[in-house]
Chain A
């Protein structure tokens, strides 16, 4: 510009003559907006032209198989402007793979260095480009001696600029894993970012991945549980976050993870043999599909394997907790005083003996013993949970309307003792619904779930097969797999809208009362072998057709349908009798 070799051009110095901008004439003027707009338009047009030409040239060369450096050059022009053009990255990969076979290792190393530099410049333009990060992963993964330290520094730099760039977090996890960075170091890194801004899901999440790896856990410890000292430290950290800002979700989610526990081990929860129906019913700890190649079951009767056909209670053979099989009918006619049944599911095995003279026999895990319903919250020492509950209550005093706090209190109470805290829990549900009206229905469902859990526990303590859930404001039925043995179920006067397909799991059900709900469909009342009485008074059954599935229940003899819309239909009684010939009495 001034040719003196000074950096930058203009030097402001004492300059008596002439001032470089004349105040009188030659004064700075700014182009008019039309001029600006026109200039912009022309510029854009030129850019577009260049872009199109380069794109065409690349496709041409690719088609002709010219995978040389010129393609790298052309794609870099395109990707420099638009790093999300995935085909261009693919093209580059093809070229690089091709050149790797052509070039000497030294030459190729130069290419790789240039590629890494190019990628970094792309990231500076758009630090959240999937294509760019992916290409970097691909490239680093192929290098014989990748420089992981430099990659970690790169991540730190980009996370400094935006601590919530999850693209970069992904890449960092990739690098840390490849470079075998000790978990403690990565944990310290997340510390530093949380210190800067704790509203950072990525950082908290990374902690949840790192903490279990921090030190080898003793074998006796249930998987996924943290040593108590670490747990207490983390709880304190996360408490700091939610006391500082109780509306920040990331901290609450981490808190929930801390108090959560891993998925339960696979188990056969219940094995039920019924003489009359010549049927064996199994309840698993998770929904499975029994089918060759997916899950195989081996049934041994009196120590010898018995091939059987497995199906689900509703006959659809979709993933289900409950599977059953028919036993050969001649089987029970034999002289043997008793039969032993043994079922193997992978490593898991359960046995059950049907003694002479008994109609049925079962072997069931107790929900109480296994603390099944605390699955979502840990079995940490109650002192830890108790102190967490105290601090949450303290916070709740300060922030009575904070939904996260209320929800956490409920969860903690359930983890501590669902029955002792039942009343309190329901009270907090009330407050929570007021605080978070947007999620009222979700909360109703959650409350229903917790209530059902409590009544299942109570039923177990009482050691009965009768469950009364009437007048509970239930909106949802759940844990029906736990009710395999129930004979009498009262669901009357709740807020149910259907009897869901899962109800078909209640294989022992004889009497079902569901009066005073808002039931429109009863598709779950299907294939129930022992169902005799069904009461559906005062519901929203519109048409006899809604009751079609009842025909699959062989023993159904009493059906009460008073006060349903279908009672208004003149033809209804006739249609029902025609549809359900086996039912003795249909009250409409």
Chain B
């Protein structure tokens, strides 16, 4: 390796998820030297987003029972007698039960040519129906493992190769501050993409090879979240000016699911005014209730008597029709019918309402190119302020001084010992030994590619969020986020649908499949029936479980040195509040007297002290491919 890393930093951050990236950025911004490493080849950990082929590689990694590789024990020689090691985990175990089901034709570009060949229809082969999940698990898995980049598309294969090579080169440097996806997009722009989709007649069958061919149009997040427009993350993005690295779109619709129908929930003043579904009196009652919720704390008499009851019981006392109660409970407060009390419900409703209208008629923003952009934006800010980045860089162990009980250094996979004052480690890196007392919850996730929206409307470019209440006793409420192609997360003519819920059953598929069946039809059935479809069809689906390491007490980990901080992976909630709070708390431990991500100075106000040569560029002023797409901070965006 040509460039050795410096042997000393102020802060070493292991893992590039959102909280780690925010801490890295904040420390770097406050003048600390930061080494930020990730053993993976991509940014974000479980917060990452992938294009389609990237996701396939990710799936493969988790489906293969690959061995960890030979144990490299030479590091033990680097540990002094007065020290001991905290060994880090080699293989990530936060993701389980990965299942892929492909509903579209996998073997051919031309649907007509093979239309009669039912045998070849992948769905009929691997998934005789959604009704028998147990039977299909193995089939679908093995099937998927046979889904590498298709060989009949040399061009695509080349692209993939090129990216991999480029990344390889970057990573060998050991220093990379450029976001992977931005880089890929750079390349993608130079490669002519075959436009047969655009030229095809209006109603066309989408095939698997088309999805693969346009795989670059996808940005599929492992974690599906939205930004509350007055949430902590937006505040942080604006305050720190990190927002310049990203672009956002407003979620356009809040949907509700009632009696088998998907309905638009009127939640803003304009929605209520425009709604054709509500009667005049319903409009008044809904507005009245929502207005009350905005400052409910000023009117304790209105809810005091119901503090002990559930929110849904309380709603019944509010002269709201069953329709409206349903909307408020599930789509606005997004709380549980059985377990949320009145105060929780009122607080959540108020939070929702306060976020309305800042950037649009819904409270949520979605980052273009996906939530996976968020950690990368903070990494970029960290790099701008001098942070050092290494992907594909595994850390063998942390070195702890026996006497002081403090962590002193890390030993990386090259056997280099790098010391630092503070260590931030993401939970998934910790070994079983450290986590033996920790109990984790699980999140169930599904990622679907579909050919139509769950609620057709005037425009086909809606970003929608839908909460499906528990479909049967003992199941969880499922959050559905449907992204259109203009969010830059999926190819034209398709939608990317994320389902998230708390895991209650064994696998993600068991948790989510009922909801998927209610909302979508498998693509194959459409082909066979060839009739008018009410539900959109499912082209491709991925199910997996992800470990939820939020809310774990520091004391639950065994023998944590006092200068080591453990960041959680993504939680099950819609917002990013936990990650920001955690990052801020840790930062304030590390640098108690420093402001957390203060605004960037005005370019004119920057003067350089010190004797060094005036650096070429004074102000961080990034311009990558992303920048060219027109960076605006959300404030400006909203003014449009």
| CB of B551 within 8 Å of the partner chain | no
Q: Are B612 and A9 in contact (CB under 8 A)?
A: no
Q: Which of A6, A12, A29, A160 has the most CB of B within 10 A?
A: A12
Q: How far is the CA of A398 from the CA of B270 in the complex (A)?
A: 20
Known A16-B173, A23-B31, A395-B284; judge A11-B615 contact (CB<8 A).
Answer: no
In the assembled complex, the CB of B183 is this many whole angstroms from the nearest CB of chain A, namely 9
The answer, yes or no, to whether B639 is at the interface (CB within 8 Å) is yes
Q: Is the CB of B176 within 8 A of A14?
A: yes
Let me know if B177 and A21 touch, CB within 8 A.
no
Q: Is B481 an interface residue (CB 8 A)?
A: no
Binary CB contact string for chain B from 171 to 187 against chain A (1 if under 8 A, 0 otherwise): 00111111000000000
Tell me which of B284, B285, B611, B623 has the highest count of chain A C-beta atoms within 10 A of its own C-beta.
B284
Selected A-B contacts with CB under 8 Å, 23 pairs: A2-B617, A10-B621, A12-B622, A13-B177, A14-B175, A14-B176, A16-B175, A20-B616, A20-B617, A21-B615, A22-B386, A25-B611, A29-B606, A29-B607, A30-B602, A31-B605, A39-B604, A160-B640, A197-B269, A243-B287, A244-B273, A244-B284, A398-B285
Asked if A180 lies at the interface with its beta carbon under 8 angstroms from chain B, I say no
| Residue in A2, A12, A21, A160 whose beta carbon sits within 8 Å of that of B624 in the complex | A12
A154–chain B nearest beta-carbon distance, Å: 16
Closest-CB distance, B117 to chain A (whole angstroms): 49
Shortest Cβ gap from B106 to chain A (Å) = 37
Task: Tell me, yes or no, whether B281 is within 8 Å of chain A by CB.
Answer: yes
Q: Chain B residues in contact with chain A, CB under 8 A?
A: 3, 31-33, 170, 173-178, 269-270, 272-274, 280-281, 283-285, 287-288, 380, 383-386, 388, 601-602, 604-612, 615-617, 619-624, 627-628, 639-640
Tell me if B615 and A398 are in contact (CB < 8 A).
no
Main SS of the interface on chain A?
loop
Residue of chain B at shortest CB distance from A199: B269
B610 touches A22 (CB 8 A): yes
A22-B610, A246-B284, A395-B284 as given contacts; A198 in contact with B623, CB under 8 Å:
no
List 11 extra interface pairs beyond A12-B622, A21-B384, CB under 8 A: A10-B617, A12-B177, A14-B170, A14-B173, A30-B605, A31-B606, A31-B607, A198-B273, A240-B274, A243-B287, A395-B284
Within the assembled complex, what's the spacing in Å between the Cα atoms of A397 and B569?
52
A161 CA / B637 CA spacing, docked (Å): 11
A14:B177 contact, CB within 8 angstroms: yes
Q: In the complex where A21-B615, A244-B273 touch, is A15 in contact with B601 (Cβ < 8 A)? A: no
Q: Which residues of B contact A391 (CB under 8 A)?
A: 280
Question: Looking at the complex, which one of B270, B385, B609 makes contact with A29 (CB distance below 8 Å)?
Answer: B609
Residues of chain B lying within 8 A (CB to CB) of residue A160: 640
- CB of B34, distance to nearest CB on chain A (Å): 9
B617 nearest CB neighbor, chain A only:
A10
Partner of A1, one of B176, B386, B616, B627: B616
Contacts of A241 in B (CB 8 A): 273
Q: Among A16, A195, A244, which residue has the most Cβ atoms of chain B within 10 A?
A: A244
**Which residues of chain B are within 8 angstroms of A22 by Cβ–Cβ distance?**
386, 610, 612, 615
- Cβ contacts under 8 Å, A240 to chain B: 273-274, 280, 283
**Is the CB–CB distance between A15 and B269 below 8 Å?**
no
Most chain A CB inside 10 Å of its own CB: which residue of B605, B609, B622? B605
Whether the pair B178, A9 counts as a contact (CB closer than 8 A) is: no
Q: Which residues of A contact B287 (CB under 8 A)?
A: 243-245
Within 8 A of B (CB), among A19-60: 19-23, 25-31, 36, 39
Q: Is the CB of B272 within 8 A of A244?
A: yes
Residue of B nearest to A398 (CB): B284
Which residues of chain A in 386-417 are interfacial with respect to chain B, using CB atoms and an 8 Å cutoff? 391, 394-395, 398-399
Q: Are B273 and A11 in contact (CB-based, < 8 A)? A: no
A239 contacts B by Cβ under 8 Å: yes
Chain A's closest residue to B598 (CB) is A30
Residues of A within 8 A of B31 (CB): 23, 27
Contact A11 B270 (CB under 8 A): no
Chain A positions within 8 Å of B272 at CB level:
244
A144 part of interface (Cβ distance < 8 Å): no
Q: How far is the CB of B323 from chain A (nearest CB, A)?
A: 16
Tell me how far the C-beta of B272 lies from the nearest C-beta in chain A, rounded to whole angstroms.
5
| Cα–Cα distance between A398 and B292 once the two chains are bound (Å) | 14
Task: Find out whether the CB atom of A14 lies under 8 angstroms from the CB atom of B178.
Answer: yes
Q: Roughly how many angstroms separate A21 CA and B28 CA in the complex, as a whole number?
A: 11
Q: In the assembled complex, how far is the CB of residue B624 from the closest CB belonging to chain A, in whole angstroms?
A: 7
**Residues on the A chain within 8 Å of B611, using CB:** 25
A178 at the interface (CB under 8 A from B): no
Residues 243-263 of chain A, each 1 if its beta carbon lies under 8 Å from chain B, else 0: 111100000000000000000
